[in-house]
């Protein structure tokens, strides 16, 4: 794939807010708004925070990307467009789906250098964000989760920033393949799990999930 095929579609950031869902108040950082720039630091994006650090954020989950192509899919499924940053992502880009990106791949976006660390483990907050109690189930079914980067070199990303693949990980373990194995394969080959665990760049939470799968 040529580098020019990857295109940044929008960038977003936001801080935690109180929101209502089914009459109850909950606090989340998933509500993000479009931004003119992202100042990407080693541990977080400036003015972009999570509400629950036990389950979100940290050095392996600094930047969240959601593939732009999936928005057209969800519009077909539900009959209406989802809002920008419907999944709380910082970046939406084209030609960077979970099938096209591997754990350990290194990209330069703007002057920030980022490494794919893990797929997103979907949770019910996306239902609350979009007032749609079917979304989580369908995200798990499709594997349209998005994924996270760790930061190798801090930098600034703006809407016009280009995306360049600096290094493709030789193991070629896609984000999609890990999701599919974990959620949809009852008895995956031991060798497949071991191959995924062999990718040192895979973030610890997913490493633990795969180890649990291996031991079960």
pLDDT at 54: 57
In a domain, 199, yes or no: no
Q: Is 210 inside a domain boundary?
A: no
- 95 part of a folded domain: yes
65 is a domain residue: yes
215 within domain boundaries? no
- Is 205 among the domain residues? no
Write out pLDDT tens, residues 47-69: 887 646 555 558 899 999 999 99
Q: The domain that contains 24 carries what CATH number?
A: 2.40.33.20
Structurally, how many domains does the chain consist of? 1
Non-local (6+) Cβ contacts of 77 within 8 A are 138
Residues of the chain with pLDDT under 50: 1-3, 51
Whether residue 108 lies inside any domain: the answer is yes
User: Does 78 reside within a domain?
Assistant: yes
Could you tell me the pTM of the whole model?
A: 0.93
Q: Where are the beta strands (DSSP E) in 29-111?
A: 33-34, 38-40, 63-67, 91-94, 106-109
pLDDT at 2: 44
The pLDDT value recorded for residue 117 is 98
Full domain range(s) for residue 118: 3-170
Q: Where are the beta strands (DSSP E) in 80-146?
A: 91-94, 106-109, 112-119
């Amino acid at each position: 794939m040529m580098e020019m095929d990857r295109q940044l579609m929008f960038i977003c950031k936001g801080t935690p807010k109180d929101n209502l869902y089914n009459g109850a108040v909950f606090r989340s950082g998933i509500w993000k708004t479009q931004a003119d720039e992202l100042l990407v630091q080693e541990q977080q994006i400036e003015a972009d925070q999570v509400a629950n650090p036990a389950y979100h954020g940290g050095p392996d989950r600094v930047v969240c990307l959601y593939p732009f192509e999936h928005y057209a899919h969800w519009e077909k499924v539900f009959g209406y467009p989802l809002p920008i940053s419907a999944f709380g992502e910082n970046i939406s880009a084209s030609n960077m789906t979970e099938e096209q990106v591997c754990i350990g791949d290194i990209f330069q976006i703007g002057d920030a250098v980022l490494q794919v660390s893990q797929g997103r483990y979907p949770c019910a907050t996306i239902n609350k964000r979009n007032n749609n109690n079917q979304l989580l189930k369908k995200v798990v079914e499709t594997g349209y989760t998005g994924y996270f980067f760790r930061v190798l070199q801090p930098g600034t990303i703006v809407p016009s920033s280009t995306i360049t693949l600096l290094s493709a990980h030789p193991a070629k373990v896609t984000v999609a393949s890990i999701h599919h194995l974990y959620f949809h394969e009852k008895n995956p080959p031991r060798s497949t799990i071991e191959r995924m665990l062999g990718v040192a760049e895979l973030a610890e939470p997913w490493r633990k999930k795969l180890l649990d799968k291996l031991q079960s």
